[in-house]
């Protein structure tokens, strides 16, 4: 039994991904890249220690009942209808367990739903509009010629035979031509919307997921505490190319973010893409043939 326990704990401790890219066969959540996701991971670990003994206990009861109280072992069936003490126990114990879970889950739900109390001047505001099948990012606070900075983030891979292969710099079905860029250690407000059907903006490493609904603005927030590249995908079935609608977010330093903004506000998408490649030591991405 000891080796079984060791193997189970080893599996539970395996990281789900490295460098923001999911790995085949991995277990658990992606490594947290935000304080909110760290809390979600901690809550998940607490639930594991609750559900594992509950599952083992219920399985043991089923086996005992099936073996000890089957028709072959009991020629004459019992005729009692209930047991008051057992009914009290199996009512109170689940209630206590649920109250214990609620003690941790309700504050977490509140923190994820309520925008933090920070200086609005330091918040980065981005509108993420889902389209079939790409994302339009609008930096609502960055105004150029009376209009906010806006660009379309297209997937590199679309399931086509002539598209580029997936690489470490541009993982298959996850990379885009121009990602959302945000500064590290900064609260980012994302307002989601859609131009056609319902989409969903989800980035596992940040612990965020909110529907993008036509005619309605939903809101989420995150604070990335590590620089790097993080991936997500549309998480609401939205049509034939739903599988090719990734989200890529680059978290950079404040100085790099300001330098990137200068290039984007100059209406030079190619220059902005080249700059991202330089600061992350990557090769500029090759776009899919169909835009």
Rounded Cα gap, residues 64 and 236, in angstroms: 43
Residue 96, pLDDT > 90, answer: yes
pLDDT at 269: 66
Using only C-alpha atoms, what is the Rg of the chain? 25
Q: What is the mean pLDDT of residues 204-226?
A: 93
C-beta of residue 229 within 8 angstroms of C-beta of residue 250: yes
Specify the 3-state DSSP secondary structure of 147.
Answer: strand
Distance separating alpha carbons of residues 155 and 158, to the nearest angstrom? 7
Domains of the chain are 30-73+81-114 (1.10.287.90), 121-279 (2.60.40.420)
How high is the pLDDT of residue 103? 94
The β-bridge partners of 19 are none
Residue 78 to residues 65, 75, 197: CA-CA distances in angstroms?
13, 10, 58
Residue 267 pLDDT greater than 50, yes or no? yes
Tell me which residue has tokens 């933090």.
116
Q: In this structure, are residues 123 and 188 in contact, taking their beta carbons and an 8 Å threshold?
A: yes
SS3 18: strand
Write out the two tokens for 97: 């367990």
Average confidence score pLDDT of the chain? 83
List the single range of 107-121, 149-163, 232-246, 263-277 with lowest mean pLDDT.
263-277
Instruction: Report the pLDDT value the prediction gives residue 166, as an integer from 0 to 100.
Output: 76
How open is the CA angle 9-11-15, to the nearest 5 degrees? 115
Q: What is the mean pLDDT of residues 224-237?
A: 91
Q: Is the pLDDT of residue 291 over 60?
A: no
pLDDT at 247: 94
Q: Mean per-residue pLDDT for 157-177?
A: 81
Phi, psi of 188 (to 5 degrees): -115, 120
Segment 234-247 mean pLDDT: 92
How many H helices and E strands in the chain? 5, 12
What DSSP letter does each residue of 158-214 carry, written as one string? -S-TTSPPP-SSS-TTT-BSS-EEEETT-EEEEEEEESSS-EEEEEGGGTEEEEE-B
| Residue 23, pLDDT score | 75
- Mean pLDDT, range 262-279, rounded to an integer: 72
> pTM, whole model, 2 decimals?
0.79
* Residues β-bridged to residue 127: 138, 191
Q: What is the three-class DSSP state of 224?
A: coil
- Do residues 176 and 291 touch, judged by C-beta distance below 8 A? no
pLDDT at 12: 41
Separation CA 82–CA 283 (nearest Å):
71
* Cα 290 to Cα 131: distance, rounded to the nearest angstrom: 16
């Amino acid at each position: 039994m000891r080796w079984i326990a060791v193997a189970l704990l080893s599996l539970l401790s395996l990281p789900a991904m490295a460098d923001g890219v999911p790995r085949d066969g991995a277990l658990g959540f992606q490594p947290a890249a935000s304080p909110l996701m760290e809390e979600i991971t901690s809550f998940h670990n607490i639930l594991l220690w609750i559900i594992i003994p509950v599952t083992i206990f219920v399985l043991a009861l089923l086996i005992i009942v099936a073996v000890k109280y089957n028709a072959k072992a009991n020629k004459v069936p019992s005729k009692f209808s209930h047991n008051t003490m057992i009914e009290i126990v199996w009512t109170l114990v689940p209630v206590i367990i649920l109250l214990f879970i609620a003690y941790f889950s309700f504050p977490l739900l509140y923190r994820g739903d309520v925008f933090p109390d920070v200086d609005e001047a330091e918040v980065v505001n981005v509108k993420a509009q889902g389209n079939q099948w790409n994302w339009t990012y609008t930096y609502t606070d960055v105004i150029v010629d009376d209009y906010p900075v806006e660009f379309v983030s297209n997937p590199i891979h679309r399931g086509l035979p002539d598209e580029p292969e997936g690489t470490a710099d541009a993982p298959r079905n996850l990379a885009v031509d121009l990602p959302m860029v945000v500064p590290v250690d900064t609260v980012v407000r994302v307002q989601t919307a859609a131009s056609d059907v319902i989409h969903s903006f989800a980035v596992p490493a940040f612990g965020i997921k909110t529907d993008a609904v036509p005619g309605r603005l939903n809101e989420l927030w995150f604070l990335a505490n590590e620089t790097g590249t993080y991936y997500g995908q549309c998480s609401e079935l939205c049509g034939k190319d739903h599988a090719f609608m990734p989200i890529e977010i680059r978290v950079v330093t404040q100085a790099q973010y300001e330098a990137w903004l200068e290039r984007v506000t100059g209406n030079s998408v190619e220059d902005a893409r080249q700059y991202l490649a330089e600061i992350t030591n990557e090769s500029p991405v090759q776009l899919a043939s169909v835009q």
